[in-house]
Amino acid sequence: MTREGAVNAVILALLAAVALAGAAGDRPFLVTLAAKVAILGLAGVGLNIALGFGGLVSFGHAAFFGLGGYVAGILASHAQNYEPVAEWPITIAGTQEMLIIWPAALAACALAAAVIGALSLRTSGIFFIMITLAFAQMLYYFAISWPAYGGEDGLPIYLRNAFPGLDTMDGLQFFALCLAALVLGVGLSWRLRDSRFGLALEAARQNPERVAAVGIRVFRVRLAAFVISAAITGLAGALYADLNRFVSPAMLSWQTSGELIVLVILGGVGRLWGPVAGAGLFVFLEHVLGGVSEYWQALLGLMLLGVVLFARGGLLGLLAGARRHG
């Protein structure tokens, strides 16, 4: 096994160990934290496809995280109230089935990303950052001002949505589900990175002019990456809504976008398991230091500064060495 492989295995084992220890020691809080790491890690894995592989600094991925969450929340609330989501042109009933909610969340986020990406990917650099932020802010204010689904107060999900054969209200089983989704997400991003598409995407990050000069349309490659990235982050959002049994506009806020970027950078930009390591560190800091002092974010800022200045590879770069190509 390579050193990076070993580090990845340790990350995965640590996460599972925390959840198991929490369940065994009757501390459900730990199980919830582990699930939160898995979910934020998955959201980061999604963002990493755009940000890490493609070099597309999206400051609007909260839009997809929140949209995925709202898809879960809205479908569940309709099912809970026995009201169809729509009656025209076709009747769409609410549902509490994750196996229906997830594809719906993936599709909604892919569609939103196709629109947002088609407009924002015509720009680059700071303009791209600002336009993605602007779209996310639009969704945020829309959610706040739309009373049908709780507006500012958010939308509760009374019982977690269901998955065949599992009791999702059981913390450990729900965690296992999140972990499975995370592993699938990382696996997919690994295949993507090494594929033809991934090669073109990573080349476009390094030198878009060169990529165009060999006959590849950079815009299309980036748009596809943005859509896939958003869909994965949206799936994480649907899981996050279920974890908290609650969706609110906070999921759509720019702080959420920022946190997602932070955890990708902390963990190691462009590294397969980087976002998971970053999510672990982030949640650890939030709950351990956050309990001690409300200034924990200042420390987070310092760490971020340290990573940007001295350890570009993030946590994974420190533990597993520089990433090698080829």
Residues forming the site for other proteins (CB under 8 A): 191-192, 194-200, 202-203, 206-207, 209-218, 220-221, 224, 325-326
Tell me, letter by letter, the H, E, C secondary structure of 96-120: CEHHHHHHHHHHHHHHHHHHHHHHH
In angstroms, give the least distance from the CB of 261 to other proteins.
Answer: 21
Q: Return d(Cα 247, Cα 193) in angstroms, integer.
A: 32
Q: Return d(Cα 234, Cα 228) in angstroms, integer.
A: 10
Q: Which CB atom, from 90 or from 214, has the smaller least distance to other proteins?
A: 214
In angstroms, give the least distance from the CB of 267 to other proteins.
Answer: 19
In angstroms, give the least distance from the CB of 142 to other proteins.
Answer: 32
Residue 96 buriedness (CB in 10 A; 0-12 / 13-18 / 19+): buried
In angstroms, give the least distance from the CB of 123 to other proteins.
Answer: 17
In angstroms, give the least distance from the CB of 211 to other proteins.
Answer: 7
In angstroms, give the least distance from the CB of 44 to other proteins.
Answer: 20
Residue 322 three-state SS = coil
In angstroms, give the least distance from the CB of 222 to other proteins.
Answer: 12
Q: Which CB atom, from 125 or from 215, has the smaller least distance to other proteins?
A: 215
Q: Which of 234, 188, 193 is nearest to 53 (CA)?
A: 193
R_g of the chain computed on alpha carbons: 19
Q: Which CB atom, from 26 or from 209, has the smaller least distance to other proteins?
A: 209
Q: Which CB atom, from 23 or from 192, has the smaller least distance to other proteins?
A: 192
In angstroms, give the least distance from the CB of 317 to other proteins.
Answer: 14
In angstroms, give the least distance from the CB of 278 to other proteins.
Answer: 21
Q: Return d(Cα 204, Cα 218) in angstroms, integer.
A: 6
Q: Which CB atom, from 207 or from 293, has the smaller least distance to other proteins?
A: 207
Q: Are strands 246-247 and 155-156 parallel, antiparallel or unpaired?
A: antiparallel
Q: Which CB atom, from 51 or from 216, has the smaller least distance to other proteins?
A: 216
Count of CB atoms situated within 10 Å of the CB of 116? 25
List the structure tokens of 288. 């351990």
Q: Return d(Cα 179, Cα 177) in angstroms, integer.
A: 5
Q: Return d(Cα 244, Cα 122) in angstroms, integer.
A: 36
Q: Which CB atom, from 94 or from 270, has the smaller least distance to other proteins?
A: 270
Q: Which of 174, 154, 153, 15 is nearest to 76 (CA)?
A: 154
Q: Which CB atom, from 165 or from 326, has the smaller least distance to other proteins?
A: 326
Residue 147 buriedness (CB in 10 A; 0-12 / 13-18 / 19+): exposed
Bridge partners, residue 155, by sequence = 247
Q: Which CB atom, from 84 or from 208, has the smaller least distance to other proteins?
A: 208
